[in-house]
Structures are given as C-alpha cells and as structure tokens.
Amino acid sequence: MEAKTLIKVEDLHKSFGKLEILKGIDMEVQEGEIVAIVGASGAGKTTLLQIIGTLDKPDRGSVEINGVKVHQLSRDEQSDFRNRQMGFVFQSHQLLPEFTAVENVAIPSMIAGVSKKASLAKAREILDKLGMSHRLEHRPAKLSGGEKQRVAVARALINDPLLILADEPTGALDSDNRRELHAIFHQLNEEEGQTFLIVSHDPQISAVTHRTIKLEDGIIKE
C-alpha cells in the first residue's frame, strides 16, 4: 500500500524585516515517518516547524496537512485543528506548574470537549505506557528533566494526533535521558505508526529517524 502524504509544503517563504529566513521550501512527510530537520542555528528550522504547526504564517507558499491547506483556515479553525490533529513537544516542557502530571496531560483533551473523568483516565493510560505511573500526582517542580519531557510527550499524544511536531525535544536533557526519549519516539512509531517531525541539533536522533532534511540558509540541501 502506498504511503499517504501527511505534510506537503510548497514554495514556502518567510522573512523577518529584511532578513529572509525561508527561501522557497518544498518538502513532504509521509504518514508513519519519523523525519528530522537539522541545520545550524539560524538556518530556519524552528520557523519552518512553527509555520507547519500554524504557530506562524508564511509570507508566500502553502502547507497542506492531511489534505487541508492550514493557512487558509481562520484563526479559530487553526486553533481547533492544532488541538485535535497535532501534538507539540518543545525543548522547555511548558507544563503548567500548578497542575499535576496527569492533569497537565489531560488538559488538551478537556479543551477538545472530552469529559474530565475520561480525559484523566486516558492521561493515566498514556503516562503508564511511558513509564510514569508512579509520578501521576506530582507537580512539575517535583519531576526530573527527563520525567517532565515524558509528561510533555504524553500531553502531545492525548488527542490521538495525526502528527507530533517536536522542537529540540532533547535539548535540555543529558545523554541518558536523550536516549530514553528517542526510544519512546521509536516505540510510538513502531507500535502505533505515529508520525513525527523533529527539529534537532542532537546527532543521536539519526538512530530513530527514517529521513533527515538539512536546512542551510533557508533552503533544503539534499
């Protein structure tokens, strides 16, 4: 069976003032792939990821996700699309400090209209799968860096997204925790076919990716 194109980017341009960051990007990601975007600082990696994730908009060009031209949606439609179809993992976990691990994971599900009881039950199930069943009721301040990132990954998974976008997810972790997070990505991909697009400086990421896209001065280098 032919792989389905999940992300299609065409002729993407983005400038900040006179500084041209993306200079006509064309790329595709197939369903079930783990793809890394690599390149030096300032190459445009994070800008590209944010535009694909509708957190920023392009000056020109299009982004299609699962057949939807996401930058033709209204702001409210984009917000709904993000919450239901995408999961995000950032270098700084961005957990809410006043909520427990399981509550942090459940929040996007409740925003999507699922009951609190069902959301918390699913959050527990995902955290258990990620080896965090003993830390469910701990607030972020009581968790290690690696544990916080596991909670962030669980939160990204709660709404069964088509796609997980990860921006330097291992950037703040030591090498052991980096390996563990890569193993989690690999497991989710192997067992559930989860698609990942990962921006990374981490050379270890190549152990779990299917493909690497190299950005250099705003263009893709093959």
pLDDT tens-place values along the chain, 222 residues long: 567 999 999 999 999 999 999 999 999 999 999 999 998 888 899 999 999 999 999 999 999 999 999 999 999 999 999 988 999 998 777 899 999 999 999 999 999 899 999 999 999 999 998 889 999 999 999 999 889 999 999 999 999 899 999 998 888 888 888 888 898 899 999 999 999 999 988 877 888 899 999 999 899 986
Residue 112 one-letter amino acid: A
- Model confidence pTM above 0.85: yes
Task: To the nearest 10°, report the CA torsion of 146, 51, 46, 109.
Answer: -10
Question: What CATH number is given to the structural domain containing 33?
Answer: 3.40.50.300
Judge whether 181 and 204 are in contact, CB under 8 Å. Answer: no
* Cα 164 to Cα 162: distance, rounded to the nearest angstrom: 7
Residues 25 and 1 in one domain: yes
Domain that holds residue 145: 92-161
Note whether residue 77 is domain-resident.
no
Domain count, the chain: 2
Residues 170 and 141 in one domain: no
The strand pairing partners of 30, in sequence order, are: 5
Residue type, 15: S
How many Å separate Cα 107 from the centre of its chain? 17
Say how far apart CA 101 and CA 89 lie, in whole Å: 15
Same domain? For 122 and 167 the reply is: no
Whether residues 169 and 212 share a domain: the answer is yes
Q: Answer with the one of 137, 161, 185 that is the final residue of a domain.
A: 161
10 and 27 housed in the same domain? yes
Same domain, 18 and 61: yes
Residues 133, 154: one domain?
yes
